[in-house]
Amino acid sequence: MTLLQAIILGIVQGATEFIPVSSNAHLVLIPWLLGWPPSGMIFDTVIHWGTLLAVVSFFWQELVSIFKNVIRDLVNRTPLASAESRLGWMLVVATLPAVILGLLFEEIIEGILSEPVWVAASLMVTGLILWVSESIGNRTRPVGALTFTDALMIGLAQAVALVPGISRSGSTIGAGLARGLERPAAARFSFLMMVPIVFGAGLLKLFDAIEVGMSEEGMMMVFAGLIAAAISGYLCVTLLLRYLATQSVRSFAVYCWLFGGLCVLIALFP
């Protein structure tokens, strides 16, 4: 991998982590289509920290408020006393399914399901999720109306997105819409959900990189991709929240079908 390729993949990661078209799919399919060497699971996972940096920067005040209220209410033995504490515990509930299933099925996920044809097919499934989610649910509930049942259902959707090609933001935003959340509210909860799961996954892969060893050049590629992902990710969070205030996610569904379908055809008829 060259430095330019690492930067391009970082930009792609930052954009597609938030735009609901599957960052994992693009990190697999773009190198495959262009004949680049595979970026590797360690590179792909660690540059997710770039998008983590973007979302933490964007939601910094809200995240600090959630953390402070959770700690305060725990000390006061009233863990659900404030709206911020409730939101914090809902994020915990929403994170658990992906953590459990990720640990159980990591080898399968990183093996057979990472083949380009399966990734492309899964991307088309993402399109179906987005399209259907716009057809159900009344989309009138704000984040403050979330229940723990909502959090669990959205968390299960995030677990489904462990399959490469299923968009994490697409499945969680879709689940939020299906549960009746407003589009910006569904996106906001989806983006907050990524903080613990991406931090944990990135930390595990960082330990893997340390254990296996990474060259100085490899570390430079990862760092370049991470910075590119952070910058493009921050821009896309801002733009997507504005877009979803007035527009549906169906345009992203069409993109998933077109790009995924094209890649399936190329894979089957090279």
DSSP letter at 146? -
Alpha carbon distance, N-terminus to C-terminus of the chain:
23
Contact yes or no for 30/12 (Cβ under 8 A): yes
Q: Coil, strand or helix: which one is 141?
A: strand
Tens of pLDDT along the chain (270 residues) come to: 889 999 999 999 999 999 999 998 999 999 999 999 877 777 877 788 899 999 999 999 999 999 999 999 888 888 888 889 999 999 999 999 998 988 887 677 666 667 899 999 999 999 999 999 988 877 888 888 899 999 999 999 999 998 889 999 999 999 999 999 999 999 999 999 999 988 887 777 666 666 666 677 778 888 899 999 999 999 999 999 999 999 999 999 999 999 999 999 999 987
**Farthest-apart Cα atoms in the chain, separation:** 63
What 3-state class would DSSP assign to 181?
strand
C-alpha angle 231/234/238, rounded to 5°? 145
The domain ranges of the chain are: 3-265
